[in-house]
Amino acid sequence: MPSAKYYHKNKEYYCQQKRNWYRLNKERVSIYNANRYDFGNYTNKYQKTNIIGSWRIRGFDFLNYTTDEIWKIYKETEECFYCGVSFENRKKNLDHCHDTGAIRGVLCCSCNKLDVLKNIL
């Protein structure tokens, strides 16, 4: 493994090597990615605990709601609060204000990355 200093001097070379490896191993990468998040029962058993824990670490302000009430809202929301797209095959994101931590709604990844509710709520 090269040193960090050597790597940064030759970064383009290493990036090209990585691209070539991925190009030659597409099938291997796709199998890895398909099984990457398949945790079976573990995901279902600890999903609520893990997600609520990550919300607390990020400093979400639940206002006068309990974590169970927020979880219920999160799980029962079936479409994006802003664009209306269904969450059937998409990841949900609990949108929050980065200044206050107050929760603003449940959004799809695209709307959450654009921070569409920043100027609305």
Domain definitions of the chain by residue range: 7-36, 59-121
- Residue 66: which H helix or E strand, with range? none
Q: Which residues contact 112 (CB under 8 A, 6 or more apart)?
A: 93, 95
The CATH architecture annotation of domain 59-121 reads: 3-Layer(aba) Sandwich (3.40)
Q: Is 108 helix (H, G, I), strand (E, B) or coil?
A: strand
Express each pLDDT in 58-111 by its tens digit: 877 777 788 888 888 888 889 988 888 888 878 888 888 777 777 888 888 888
- pLDDT of 71 reads 87
Task: Render pLDDT for 11-65 as a digit per residue (tens, 0 to 9).
Answer: 899 889 999 999 999 988 888 877 766 555 555 667 788 888 888 888 777 777 8
The reported pTM is 0.54
Is the pLDDT assigned to residue 120 strictly greater than 80?
A: no
- In the block, which residue shows the tokens 């709604």? 105
- Strands 92-96 and 103-108 come out as antiparallel
**pLDDT (0 to 100) of residue 4:** 81
**How many helices (H) does the chain have, and how many strands (E)?**
6, 2
Helix (H) or strand (E) holding 72: helix 67-76
Average pLDDT of every residue of the chain? 80
Which residues 6+ apart lie within 8 Å of 29 measured at CB?
22
Q: What pLDDT, on a 0 to 100 scale, did the predictor assign at position 16?
A: 92
